[in-house]
Structure 1
Amino acid sequence: AEDVRGLDDYNESLSEGQRTLSWIWKTQLQGGKEGLQEALRIEWCKSRARAQRWQEECVLLTEEMRRVQTTFQYYAGLWKDRGKNVGLPGARAYALKQEALWNELNANAREQWNSLKEMLPSASPEALDSEIDLDSLPHYSS
């Protein structure tokens, strides 16, 4: 039963990088070697698309982390300036409290995301646009 599955079927408990083709797809198909080559080529294209989606997700997550920290810094600076320009002690205290809150949010985000940055591959948006000539790929024989 494990051997009878399509190229798309996989064990969902495995991570994205742990997919393997069933041996049945590596044996003779209707259409001979050409049919096998086409099936493997299609699976390679789908695997590449999955990898590109994950790479894009890493790029987007990195940008999101940068934007969140920039926003927190902006609001901390905004409240710092407001605190300098008010004459009432209560308003100044409120502005200082808001500045401290935004600085704390920024520090927490930086702390939580520093460990995440180490796990993310260095993905650039330019890498997503790289093209591969499918005809230049090696042809495997069974």
Structure 2
Amino acid sequence: MLPLLGRISAFKGKKTAFMYTMMYAALTFFPILAIIFIDRQFGTPVLSFDGGSRWLIMALSFLVIVCLSFRLKAGALSILPLLLAGTHFLFQYMKWDSAGAMMAETYIPYIGLLLVMFIETKRAKNTAQYE
């Protein structure tokens, strides 16, 4: 949603851009607070997901990231779900679960994304140079 927000508010006035940013912040922050307070009030989890539900939520979120990336013409972002899931499956397959593995599993996808964005920027610069 953040790239979409930036694209919407890029050519708007400062007040409109501020309002879009506040709406985004409220829509992401308030549901989390609501779940925390409801859990404390009732003492039982409001939301609980089993293993299958977690995979379904991850697949749906990856699909949303890919669709938004292509809609916003940000091709490099569409590789992020593949990097995240691929790294997770690789470390799970290797049965490597030390603290270093957790750290590596966290940072490898973002390093890969930076490399893809660097390659994409170089390619765009070369294309612009020849036009």
Shorter-chain TM-score tier: 0.3 to 0.5
The TM-score normalised by the length of structure 2 is 0.32
The TM-score normalised by the length of structure 1 is 0.30
| Higher relative contact order (Cα pairs below 8 Å, separated by 6+ residues) | 1
